[in-house]
Amino acid sequence: MTDLWTSLRRFLDTEREVFGDFLLLDGARQAVRHAPEPPPRPAVVARAPVTADPAPAVADEPLLFDLPPAAQPVTTREEWMETNDLQEMHNRISGCLKCALGHTRTKFVFGVGNARASLMFVGEAPGADEDAQGEPFVGRAGQLLNKILAAIAMKREEVYICNILKCRPPNNRTPLPEEVELCLPYLKQQIALIKPKLIVCLGLTAAQNLLQTNESLTRLRGRTLEFAGTPLRVTYHPAALLRNPNWKQPTWEDFQAIQKLLAGLQA
């Protein structure tokens, strides 16, 4: 028995020397040989950022949002500010819906008259007639203004007439501060383009909003004030004269002073 074990052991040692641990490894070797190849590992590729509309490569161009805030351009300018032509400006803002009045107006009331006028009138806002026709001062108040102009030897076509607001407030109520704030830049641009020699505010609302003052009409009348370097006078709104004829005489005096002042400015 001992001999048998000794012979068997010697045989295994010989086999191990020649073939290695074949008895143990052969099965495993076969399994490895027939095992499916593992899928190749995907190469790691740097992904470009996904953009909806890839811009053409601009070498070393700093991006806008990389600039410090102080260097960023102001982008509040609007298209209507970029023209020096009054009609073009009209075309660009006639669809304005910046305030609620844009949704209730019948017609936008830009202004009317001579684009190079020496004398410019500023009223409050369009009324019912102006809203219907798209032109300022065309109702009874407008007809009275025409008569006053004739009395100082001027025609409506010679002057420029507009309002603080371009759209009619419901029931002719006084313009709200937020409406004025949104609409006033249009009037300022019109003044800048027309460059009148004299501005006349018709009524307290026009005067207070253009001059940014709380002074009364009594204090504002009879003085030559100034808006952005342009002389400015204040008188009654023609609609007020229709309500109170007692104000016609002081208005006539105001217009005589306006005529005299304008003559001096044109000389």
- CB closer to ligand SF4, 146 vs 189: 189
The answer to whether 198 touches 158, Cβ cutoff 8 Å, is: no
Q: How far is the CB of 113 from ligand SF4 (least distance, A)?
A: 18
Helix (H) or strand (E) holding 234: strand 230-235
Q: How far is the CB of 170 from ligand SF4 (least distance, A)?
A: 12
- CB closer to ligand SF4, 148 vs 180: 180
The answer to whether 152 touches 256, Cβ cutoff 8 Å, is: yes
Q: How far is the CB of 180 from ligand SF4 (least distance, A)?
A: 9
Residue at 97: amino acid letter: L
- CB closer to ligand SF4, 99 vs 199: 99
Residues that bind ligand SF4 (CB under 6 A): 96-99, 101-102, 165-167, 179, 182-183
E-state strands within 115-210: 119-123, 160-163, 198-202
Question: Which sign does the torsion angle of CA 119, 120, 122, 126 carry?
Answer: positive
54 DSSP assignment: P
Residue (of 171, 139, 108) closest to 238 by Cα position: 139
Q: How far is the CB of 182 from ligand SF4 (least distance, A)?
A: 4
Q: How far is the CB of 78 from ligand SF4 (least distance, A)?
A: 12
What secondary structure does DSSP assign to 244-265, as a single string? Answer: -GGGHHHHHHHHHHHHHHHHHH
Residue (of 69, 108, 46, 93) closest to 190 by Cα position: 93
35 DSSP assignment: S
- CB closer to ligand SF4, 169 vs 196: 169
- The residue behind tokens 């002042």 is 261
The residue of the chain with the least Cβ separation from ligand SF4 equals 102
- CB closer to ligand SF4, 167 vs 220: 167
The answer to whether 80 touches 89, Cβ cutoff 8 Å, is: yes
- The residue behind tokens 């209730």 is 104
- CB closer to ligand SF4, 104 vs 224: 104
Q: How far is the CB of 264 from ligand SF4 (least distance, A)?
A: 34
Q: How far is the CB of 192 from ligand SF4 (least distance, A)?
A: 17
- CB closer to ligand SF4, 89 vs 144: 89
The answer to whether 123 touches 164, Cβ cutoff 8 Å, is: yes
